[in-house]
Amino acid sequence: SQTIHQWPATLVQPVGSPLSLECTVEGTSNPNLYWYRQAAGRGLQLLFYSVGIGQISSEVPQNLSASRPQDRQFILSSKKLLLSDSGFYLCAWSVLAGDFETQYFGPGTRLLVL
Amino acid sequence: AQSVAQPEDQVNVAEGNPLTVKCTYSVSGNPYLFWYVQYPNRGLQFLLKYITGDNLVKGSYGFEAEFNKSQTSFHLKKPSALVSDSALYFCAVRVPWNFNKFYFGSGTKLNVKP
């Protein structure tokens, strides 16, 4: 069966520091991968999605970036964090065939920027 | 533009009573509709989806949803609520012709009181 991992679970970082959040998927090949941010425990904002290695599409301009160095690895980064980057970051995956692209979510990373 | 609306910020229901969480959508063409549940500090869990066929869809934990094309709605229902159903519920629509992106509603907090 497929599983999705995110780490760390919780992160407290000072303003201006770099960021690296990692997401990995097991048990599937060539998934679509997504990064979302959830602010204040409510709405989800799609940040990035990827349909393959090295293929990243950005949804909103910001100081975050994403990379996909391997088929089942998706990384969210920042060179300098802002206070407004605080939130709950969720990674998700889906596959084209057989499941009508249902998205399945990881456990999330809570980021607090101070 | 594609969108999903959850008109209720919060729904309160007594344990054992039926519950309904409302969702309406606006999308060109045939929608693929989803419901997810989120418990505190956790990722989203897939509940059910409507792709085609029977308008009444059954999902996990006794939940079901009714697709109504004329009213562009996809309300989530359960005949008898449990205290453990208390959580945040998200409706989402998948747009196949737009890189299979998901558009999420703002979420509805369900409170089930004993």
pLDDT at residue B81, rounded to an integer: 97
Domains of chain A: total: 1
Instruction: State the Cα–Cα distance between residues A109 and A88, nearest whole angstrom.
Output: 6
**CATH number, residue A81:** 2.60.40.10
| Predicted pLDDT at B52 | 85
Q: Per residue of chain A (114 residues), give pLDDT as tens.
A: 889 999 999 999 999 999 999 999 999 888 999 999 998 767 899 999 998 999 999 888 788 999 999 999 999 999 999 999 999 999 999 876 655 678 999 999 999 999
pLDDT at B29: 78
CB-nearest to A46 from B32, B45, B101 is: B101
Read out DSSP for B14-83? ETTS-EEE--EEE-SSS-EEEEEEE-TTS-EEEEEEE-SS-SEEE-GGG-EEEEETTTTEEEEEESS--G
Instruction: Say what the pLDDT of residue A1 is.
Output: 80
Domains of chain B: 3-109 (2.60.40.10)
Reported confidence tier of residue B66, pLDDT bands at 50, 70, 90: very high
Q: Percentage of chain B with pLDDT > 90?
A: 76
Contacts of A97 in chain B (CB under 8 A): none
Contact residues on chain A for B36, CB-CB shorter than 8 A: 105
pLDDT band, very low/low/confident/very high, at B30 (cuts 50, 70, 90): confident
pLDDT for the residue numbered B94: 87
- Residues paired with A78 in a beta bridge: A19, A64
Task: Match 């004993």 to its residue by tokens.
Answer: B114
pLDDT value of residue B1: 72
How many angstroms separate the CA of residue A102 from the nearest CA in chain B?
8
pLDDT surpassing 70 at residue B64: yes
Of A12, A1, A24, A15, nearest in space to A76 by CA: A24
Inter-residue contact B54 to B38 (CB < 8 Å) = no
The string over B67-104, giving b where at least 16 C-beta atoms fall within 10 Å of a residue's C-beta and e elsewhere, is: beeeeebbbbebeebeeebbbbbbbbbbbeeeebbbbb
Tokens of A25: 């998927």
Residues of A in CB contact (< 8 Å) with B are: 6, 32, 34, 41-44, 46, 49, 51, 57, 88, 90, 92, 94, 100-108, 110
Q: Residue A20 CB: number of other CB atoms within 10 A? A: 11
**pLDDT of A99:** 58
Q: Dihedrals φ, ψ of B36, to 5°?
A: -130, 155
Q: At A84, phi and psi to the nearest 5?
A: -70, -5
- The bridge status of strand A109-113 relative to strand B19-21 is unpaired
- Whether B10 has its CB under 8 Å from any CB of chain A: the answer is no
pLDDT score for A97: 62
Q: Which helix (H) or strand (E) holds A34?
A: strand A32-38
* Nearest-5° Cα angle at A57, A3 to A78: 80
Percent of chain B with pLDDT over 70: 97
* Predicted local confidence at residue B21, as pLDDT: 98
